[in-house]
Amino acid sequence: MSPLLTIAAEEMENPLVPPIPELVIGLIAFVIVFGFLAKKLLPNINKVLDERREAIEGGIEKAEAAQTEAQSVLEQYKAQLAEARHEAARLRQEAQEQGATLIAEMRAEGQRQREEIVAAGHAQIEADRKAASSALRQDVGKLATDLAGKLVGESLEDHARQSRVIDRFLDDLEEKAEAAR
Amino acid sequence: MSADPTQVLAFETDCHIFDGCGFPSPGLHSFLFEPIWGDGDSNVYFNKTMLLALLGSIIIVGFFWAAFRKPQVVPGKLQMVAEAGYDFIRRGVVYETIGKKEGEKYVPLVVSLFFFVWMMNLWSIVPIAQFPVTSIISYPLVLALIVYVLWVSLTFKRHGFVGFFKNVTGYDKSLGPVLPLAMLIEFFSNILIRPFTHAVRLFANMFAGHTLLLLFTIASWYLLNGIGIAYAGVSFIMTVVMTAFELFIQALQAYVFVLLTCTYIQGALAEHH
């Protein structure tokens, strides 16, 4: 056994009595660690951790901004779509109304034309009837006077009398026709 | 109990049971080292524990240097591991006890303390080294003294001279007649016993742990003869189990050490002790 160890053992009988050289070396060893960590390495990492937090927060903010924008765009689209639908409905309604108006107008026009045609027809018929009636009256008068002249042997040239006779005759005819009806 | 320097480790004697030699039990002599350099008589020497202490410092600084020298916003693997350790102490210990605002200033100290103590403890199970540096009282003591000095100066700075004494004696008028006694006890507890227990708690744990490991390791070797082989197996299993247990205790004691540090700092900063 080495005498050195024997001496050391005698000195260190109580393990709670600290040997001074170890105290010094312990202090030096700790100061080395503390110095490097406190002066250089931990400030380094703190800076980077802050940067990272900012980056993450920035990213979150960006994402939030994008989301808000997307939301607003979506709402805009929805509003536009609703407006377009509304517009389409309005146009359809308008078209329907216009169509109805047109149909009504056309119907009215058709009605009017029909009435015009009918009226024109009536007028024509009336005119024809009047013309035929007057022509017939003249012919019948002439025939009657001729016939009566021949029968009476006396000319019923006298105009006044002639027309009186004719009228009377025609009136009789008409009365008979009325009675027959 | 005095150390018997004539006893040496079983490995050195190649002594086994039934060989006629006694069990070379571990003891105080297991914590003594011949100086590598210098003279044990004088106070100028260099031994294994000092070598391990300095080596440990270099390893810690090297690790954090590699991890944090050029830190990236998007961390690599090493940086992530180091960050996890750093963050654990910063958030889990300092912010929890002192608070974020006041505690930020003490984060470097506490982080350094934790990794320093842990590394010194870890030497216990590192092959070849196999000695917890903190089982030499000097190392825990110097750390406890640093904390003690910090605590005392902080209390003075925060509370002034009278405030300091009120703080360390736990001055509380409502105690009435027992106040002087309470103050005396508190004073002793805070001023004298606190740094001692702070250091000894770590020292004793590591000391006991190392002794236990030694015991089973030596027994495994010593029993390796005849029927003893069966017991040697048991002893070896115990060595492995205790090594795993020590791994846990080492981290735990480092954690306890810095937790107490933070509690003391918090006590110094608190308005009413």
What secondary structure letter does DSSP report for A19? -
Mean pLDDT, residues B119-144 taken together: 93
Contacts of A163 (CB under 8 A, 6+ apart): A141
pLDDT band per the 50, 70, 90 thresholds, residue B7: very low
Percentages (nearest 5) of helix, strand, coil residues in chain A? 90, 0, 10
pLDDT at site A133 = 83
- Global model pTM greater than 0.90: no
Whether residue B165 lies inside any domain: the answer is yes
The answer to whether the Cβ–Cβ distance between B146 and A30 falls below 8 Å is yes
Q: Tens digit of pLDDT for each residue in B218-251?
A: 889 888 888 888 899 999 999 999 999 999 999 9
Is the pLDDT at B14 greater than 90? The verdict is no
Provide the pLDDT for residue A148. Answer: 76
pLDDT at position A180 is 77
Is position B1 within any domain? Answer: no
Interchain proximity A19–B138, CB inside 8 Å: yes
For B6, list phi and psi in degrees, rounded to 5. -75, -15
Question: What pLDDT does A172 receive?
Answer: 87
With an 8 Å Cβ cutoff, is B54 touching chain A?
yes
**Residue of higher predicted confidence among B82 and A173:** B82
Q: Give chain A's mean pLDDT.
A: 85
pLDDT (average), residues B20-32:
81
Three-state DSSP string of chain B: CCCCCCCCCHHHHCCCCCCCCCCCCCCHHHHCCCCCEECCCCCCEECHHHHHHHHHHHHHHHHHHHHHCCCCCCCCHHHHHHHHHHHHHHHHHHHHHCCHHHHHHHHHHHHHHHHHHHHHHHHHHCCCCCCCHHHCCHHHHHHHHHHHHHHHHHHHHHHHHHHHHHHHHCCCHHHHHHHHHHHHHHHHHHHHHHHHHHHHHHHHHHHHHHHHHHHHHHHHHHCCCCCHHHHHHHHHHHHHHHHHHHHHHHHHHHHHHHHHHHHHHHHHHCCCC
Structure tokens at B68: 């944090």
Tell me how far apart the alpha carbons of residues B233 and A116 are, in angstroms, rounded to a whole number: 132
| B28 interface with A at CB cutoff 8 Å | yes
Give the pLDDT score at A163. 78
Confirm whether B18 is domain-assigned.
no
Give the SS3 label for residue A1: coil
What confidence tier does A154 reach under pLDDT thresholds 50, 70, 90? low
- Would you state the structure tokens that stand for residue A118, as one six-digit string? 């009918």
Longest Cα pair distance anywhere in chain B, in angstroms? 71
All residues of chain B having their beta carbon less than 8 Å from the beta carbon of residue A6 are 5
Q: What angle do CA B191, B134, B202 make, to 5 degrees?
A: 45
Query: Which neighbouring-strand residues pair with B45?
Result: B38
Range from A57-61, A157-161, B24-28 carrying the lowest mean pLDDT? A157-161
B130 neighbors B123 (Cβ within 8 angstroms): yes
Average pLDDT over chain B, rounded to an integer:
88
Residue B8, in any domain of the structure: no
Q: Which of A48-62, A65-79, A155-169, B114-128 has the lowest mean pLDDT?
A: A155-169
Q: In angstroms, what CA-CA distances link B35 with B44, B121, B227?
A: 10, 21, 39
> Does residue A150 surpass a pLDDT of 80?
no
pLDDT of residue A10: 52
Q: Is B128 on the interface with A (CB under 8 A)?
A: no
Other C-beta atoms closer than 10 Å to the C-beta of A113 total: 10
More confident residue, B4 or A9: A9
Range of weakest confidence among A47-51, A127-131, A177-181, B32-36: A177-181
A65 vs B: CB within 8 A: no
The mean per-residue pLDDT over the stretch A165-173 comes to 82
At B224 the pLDDT is 86
Q: Is residue B117 part of a domain?
A: yes
Residue B13 lies in a domain: no
**Across the interface, do A16 and B28 touch by the CB < 8 Å criterion?**
no
Looking at the 3D structure of chain B, how many domains does it have?
A: 1
pLDDT at A155: 60
Confidence (pLDDT) at B15: 77
Q: Domain range holding B82?
A: 26-269
B52 vs B119: CA distance, rounded Å = 10
Please check the confidence at residue B6 and state whether its pLDDT lies above 60. Answer: no
Q: Check if B149 contacts A (Cβ < 8 Å).
A: no
A22: nearest CA partner in chain B: B138
Residue B2 lies in a domain: no
Task: Give Cα separations from B135 to B163, B200, B210 (angstroms).
Answer: 36, 9, 8
Shortest CA gap B65–chain A (Å): 7
Distance from CA of B12 to the nearest CA of A (A): 12
CA B21 to CA B17: how far, in whole Å? 7
Label residues B220-244 b or e (16+ Cβ within 10 Å = b). Answer: bbbbbeeebeeebeebbebbeebbe
Chain A touched by B76 (CB under 8 Å)? no
The pLDDT value recorded for residue A153 is 63
Model confidence at B10, pLDDT cuts 50, 70, 90, reads very low
Q: Which of A56-60, B197-201, B265-269 has the highest mean pLDDT?
A: B197-201
Q: Is the pLDDT higher at B106 or at A163?
A: B106
Report residue A46 as tokens.
Answer: 């703190």
In this prediction, residues B262-268 reach a mean pLDDT of 92
- Whether A18 sits inside 8 A of B82 (CB atoms) is no
Residue of A nearest to B144 (CA): A27
Given the structure tokens 């006629």, which residue do they identify? Answer: B20
Among A10-24, A50-64, A125-139, B186-200, name the one with the lowest average pLDDT: A10-24
Confidence check: pLDDT of B5 > 50? no
Confidence check: pLDDT of A91 > 90: yes
The pLDDT value given to residue B199: 95
Across the interface, whether the CB atoms of B61 and A9 are under 8 A apart is answered no
For B143-175, write each residue's pLDDT tens digit: 999 999 999 999 999 888 888 888 888 888 888
- The answer to whether residue B200 is domain-embedded is yes
Flag if B32 and A9 touch (Cβ within 8 Å).
Answer: yes
The per-residue pLDDT for range B242-257, each reduced to its tens digit, is 999 999 999 999 999 9
Residue B72 φ/ψ, nearest 5 degrees: -110, 150
- The whole-number average pLDDT for the span A19-37 is 92
Give the C-alpha distances (Å, rounded to integers) separating B67 from A37, A42, B62, B81, B170: 11, 10, 8, 8, 44
Percent of chain A scored above 90 by pLDDT? Answer: 51
Closest residue to B65, CB basis, from A2, A26, A41: A41
In the numeric block, the tokens 């960590």 are attached to A37
